[in-house]
Amino acid sequence: TGFLNSFSINPSSLIDTKPSKQEVVVLEEQDAVIKVVEETAPAVVSIVRKEIFFDPFRGPFRSEDSIGTGFIIDGKAGIILTNKHVVDNTGATYSVVLGEGEVSYDVDRIYKDPINDFAILKVQFEGSTDIPQIALGDSGSIKIGQTVIAIGNALGQFGNSVTKGIISGLGRGIVAKSGVFGRAESLKDIIQTDAALNPGNSGGPLLNLNGEVIGINVAISQGAENIGFSIPIDVLKPVIDDFMTSGKISRPFLGVEYVQITKDLSEERSLPQGAFVRDVVAGSPADKAGIEPGDIIVEIAGIKLDDENSLVKVISGQDTDKEVGIIIDRNGKEERLKIKLKDLEG
């Protein structure tokens, strides 16, 4: 007994106190998420819509609804990014609320992208210094499975709500609709995420673990759980850069309503890949160039239209001050036209 007592062992000394590799990874990610939220949340704003209505029984009354999210990318210049559908009511005025509702600023002007569900708000942060802002990242390098963070005004009630998830898919094509009677809009090359998004999150940032914006949250899938969508920030960078230089949003405009003929559809229907023209806007560059409904646009400026190069993508990369060649398929015969794109200002 004495021998055993002299060599007694403390059971606690047998426990390996060194954390496992899995625990270290979890802790590192947790710390990274907390740091991102602390650094970026102050630059995320709630967007409030103000309207005046007339009721025959009680007369005119004012309505204020918190309806979406935005985020500041230039505090000094007062530049805020959001979705176009968040600020689409031309009969309303808008304001932005910083933080948990401490400070509110009126929106001076709204610039809308004619192509994407995207808008830039201009605000005068008068009397304020050191306005927070968020840096834009690189959505071209993101990977499926990568951790992402969403911050937004969930349900229009819970400002700066934070959710975390992963990138679930890339290059998605969706049809987004705002409200019951809202206009449907086709969006392509969209990021899919399982970070929980709710009504009111629209226009908020999707962030990587460096605290950089890689997407703007735009839609959720009805009837499904944890399926949300964001517009890749790289798609919008040229628009943002032009705005910073010119003070306006402008896009090359062709003037057609079309359906993209994918590779699969091309093989199934024995049609060339490209953009099937459903309608042509009167007086538009397409109309002046001689494009007609039923034509299939197969090439613009030497770039063939395919699953990778959609009509919108190719047009967006063109200048509006020079003439470019365009190839169409009309009733099975190839024709070459010249077109000068118009500048469409939002």
The 3-state DSSP class for residue 9 equals coil
Residue 60's DSSP bridge partners are 54
Nearest to 122 by CA among 104, 106, 103: 106
Catalytic hit among 85, 161, 230, 250: 85
Cα end-to-end distance, the chain, whole Å: 90
Distance from C-alpha of 294 to C-alpha of 256, rounded to nearest angstrom: 11
Distance from C-alpha of 152 to C-alpha of 40, rounded to nearest angstrom: 11
**Rounded-to-10 torsion of CA 75, 76, 77, 81:** -10
Q: Among this protein's residues, is 108 annotated catalytic?
A: no
Only one residue has tokens 């003070």, namely 247
307 Cβ contact partners less than 8 Å away, ≥ 6 residues apart:
262, 263, 273
Q: Among this protein's residues, is 12 annotated catalytic?
A: no
DSSP one-letter string for 319-332: -SSSEEEEEEEETT
Cβ pair 310, 300 in contact under 8 A: no
Catalytic hit among 113, 117, 295, 329: 117
159 Cβ contact partners less than 8 Å away, ≥ 6 residues apart:
46, 66, 97, 99, 100, 101, 153
Nearest to 210 by CA among 132, 119, 120, 139: 139
Q: Among this protein's residues, is 161 annotated catalytic?
A: no
- Exposed/middle/buried for residue 202 (C-beta within 10 Å: 0-12, 13-18, 19+): buried
Q: What share of the chain is helix, strand, coil (3-state, %, to 5)?
A: 20, 45, 35
Catalytic hit among 66, 178, 202, 310: 202
* Positions marked catalytic: 85, 117, 202
